[in-house]
C-alpha cells in the first residue's frame, strides 16, 4: 500500500486536493468533528479540563473555539486529548483499506505530531497565502486569533516543503488542480 499524505498551510486546499486522487481519504478534521459528536469519553476529558467552557454532549464547536480563544495553552491540551483518538481512527482506516493500492492521509498536524511513516509520500499543497486567507475568512466561525494560534502549532511552511517529495501548486481552479494531481499520481504509480 502506498500512503500519500497531503501537507501544507491552513486553507491551502489540502482536503480538496486529497479528494482529487480518487483513493480512500482519511480526513482528520472530519474525524475530529465526529469525535466531538459521538465520543463521550472525549467529552468527559474536555469537560474535566475546561469545566467553565465545555457544557454538554455532544461538544459544540463554538465551545471549543471559546476555549482556544480564552485560555492560553488550551490548544495543546485539546490536542493531547483528541490526538490519540484520531491516531486510533487512522490506524483503523489503514487496516480497513489494507488491500487498496493507495490511501490518502489528510492530517493537518501530520508532521508536527510525528504520525507519518518513513515511506510515506508527502505532497505539499502550495496555495496563494492571499487567496487562502480570503477563503478562510468566508468560513463560518472564522476567528483570526484562533487562526494565528493554529499557525503557531504548525511547522514553518519551508520545512514542510523541504520534507515533501512533491509540490502541487493550487491556484484554486478545479480543472487545473485535477490535472496536477493526475500527473503526480502517474509519476507515483510509475515509480511503485
> Residues 77-125: pLDDT tens digits?
999 999 999 999 999 999 999 999 999 999 988 888 888 888 999 999 9
Q: In this model, does residue 50 exceed pLDDT 90? A: yes
* 173 compared with 35, residue with greater pLDDT: 35
pLDDT value of residue 112: 83
* Within a domain: 138: yes
Mean confidence (pLDDT) of the chain: 89
- Percent of the residues in the chain that have a pLDDT greater than 70, as a whole number: 96
Structural domain boundaries, residue 39: 2-181
* Within a domain: 82: yes
pLDDT value of residue 137: 72
Q: In this model, does residue 131 exceed pLDDT 70? A: no
Q: In this model, does residue 152 exceed pLDDT 80? A: no
* Within a domain: 64: yes
pLDDT value of residue 9: 87
Residue 64 belongs to domain with CATH number:
3.40.50.300
Range from 21-25, 71-75, 117-121 that averages highest in pLDDT: 21-25
By the 10 Å C-beta count (0-12 exposed, 13-18 middle, 19+ buried), 88 is classed as exposed
pLDDT value of residue 172: 78
* 190 compared with 51, residue with greater pLDDT: 51
* Within a domain: 62: yes
* Within a domain: 96: yes
pLDDT tens digits, residue range 171-190? 878 898 999 999 999 999 88
Q: Among the residues of the chain, which ranges form H helices? A: 14-20, 28-38, 40-49, 61-70, 74-96, 129-137, 144-153, 157-163, 174-191
C-alpha distances (whole Å) from 178 to each of 22, 62, 99, 150, 170 are: 10, 34, 25, 28, 10
pLDDT value of residue 153: 77
* Within a domain: 86: yes
Number of domains into which the chain is organized: 1
pLDDT value of residue 11: 84
Amino acid at each position: 500500500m502506498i500512503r500519500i499524505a497531503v501537507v501544507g498551510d491552513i486553507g491551502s486546499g489540502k482536503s480538496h486536493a486529497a479528494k482529487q486522487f480518487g483513493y480512500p481519504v482519511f480526513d482528520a478534521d472530519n474525524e475530529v468533528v465526529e469525535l466531538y459528536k459521538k465520543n463521550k469519553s472525549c467529552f468527559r476529558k474536555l469537560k474535566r479540563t475546561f469545566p467553565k467552557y465545555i457544557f454538554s454532549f455532544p461538544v459544540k464547536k463554538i465551545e471549543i473555539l471559546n476555549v482556544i480563544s480564552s485560555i492560553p495553552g488550551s490548544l495543546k491540551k485539546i490536542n493531547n486529548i483528541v490526538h490519540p483518538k484520531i491516531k486510533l481512527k487512522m490506524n483503523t482506516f489503514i487496516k480497513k483499506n489494507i488491500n487498496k493500492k493507495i490511501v490518502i492521509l489528510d492530517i493537518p498536524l501530520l508532521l508536527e505530531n510525528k504520525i507519518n511513516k518513513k515511506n510515506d509520500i508527502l505532497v505539499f499543497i502550495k496555495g496563494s497565502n492571499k487567496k487562502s486567507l480570503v477563503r478562510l475568512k468566508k468560513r463560518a466561525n472564522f476567528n483570526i486569533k484562533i487562526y494565528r494560534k493554529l499557525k503557531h502549532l504548525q511547522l514553518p511552511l519551508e520545512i514542510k516543503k523541504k520534507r515533501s517529495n512533491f509540490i502541487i501548486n493550487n491556484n484554486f481552479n478545479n480543472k487545473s488542480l485535477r490535472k496536477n494531481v493526475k500527473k503526480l499520481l502517474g509519476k507515483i504509480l510509475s515509480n511503485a
